[in-house]
Amino acid sequence: METVDIAIIGGGPAGLTAALYAARARAKTVVFETGLPGGQIVTTDWVENYPGFPEGLSGAELADLMHKQAERFGAEFRTFAQVERVEPVDLDFKLTVEGEDILARVVILATGAVPKKLGVPGEAEFTGRGVSWCATCDGALFRDKTVAIIGGGDAAIEEAIFLTKFASRVHIVHRRDELRATKCIQERCFENEKIELHWSRVVKEVKGENGKVTGIELAATNDDPDEFLPLDGIFIFVGIDATSGLVSDLCDLDERGFVQTDHNGLTSYPGLYAAGDVTDSELKQVVTAAAKGASAAFEALRYLDNRLCSI
């Protein structure tokens, strides 16, 4: 059975940074990623709040730089590789990766989180036919069309602004009477003439005909009447769900399913660390994911050293 020092599950900013620190310390480090390195940041149009890049850069470019840096120090990347199971074996962990078993002395979970679904009629039926969770991926398909963004946080408003590059009209539907996004992002939103806001509204149903979205039924959260909003597309940004199923029976999760860690990334199970959006940390940004990845790798290396010293 192949043995590695540190197995990192997930190749987003947290996993890439952990790989950089672990490989640079000469630990045998392997990153398992179900797609290409970069995670969800690859679908981000522009990153303007990552330190060291005053003019900003695309998410794909930042992910590529992180990947190359970790690889330069010897981190090994196994892309399109699905880790199916993580089992403790004495002080180590056995990873089942597409039927093959790999022994890892330490595991760093950096699997991130996935967008929440609304769970309303028509959402599943019209997914890929007008319903999307990625404006960067699908925005160009709605050139000169009318679309809606569901949500009021940073991601929702940033994607709404991005969609104005293509769509003739962008509606923002938010269940509250004020946005949760950062003030500077809100200001850019309010200044954009292509954006129209619908306060105190939730989606009741996604409507469509002939395999395409035609609009959404909106229910009011106050005393206003319900309304139908004609649309060509809907983009959903109402939160995220942790991808923590691999370790749900190994370590403590919070009530939302996010992995609970200390400030160094250690979970409740010895030798198992977690970093990035899969953890219970409140701020989920590229810079915090990178920082948590560095902390998890540093502590993982110290854990390995202590094990060697005790032999």
Q: Which residues of 22-56 are buried (b: 16+ CB within 10 A; e: fewer)?
A: bbbbebbbbbbbeeebbbbbbbbbebeebeeeeee
The answer to whether residue 134 is catalytic is yes
SS (H, E, C) the chain: CEEEEEEEECCCHHHHHHHHHHHHCCCCEEEEECCCCCHHHHHCCCECCCCCCCCCECHHHHHHHHHHHHHHCCCEEEECCCEEEEEEECCEEEEEECCEEEEEEEEEECCCEEECCCCCCCCCCCECCCEECCHHHHHHHHCCCEEEEECCCHHHHHHHHHHCCCCCEEEEECCCCCCCCCHHHHHHHHHCCCEEEECCEEEEEEEEECCEEEEEEEEECCCCCCEEEECCEEEECCCEEECCHHHCCCCCECCCCCECCCCCCECCCCCEEECHHHECCCCCCHHHHHHHHHHHHHHHHHHHHHHHHHC
Strands 76-79, 29-33: pairing kind:
parallel
Choose, from 101, 137, 224, 305, the residue flagged as catalytic. 137
**205 DSSP β-pair partners:** 217
Choose, from 92, 138, 154, 277, the residue flagged as catalytic. 138
The answer to whether residue 252 is catalytic is no
The answer to whether residue 137 is catalytic is yes
Strands 146-150, 169-173: pairing kind:
parallel
Catalytic residues: 134, 137-138
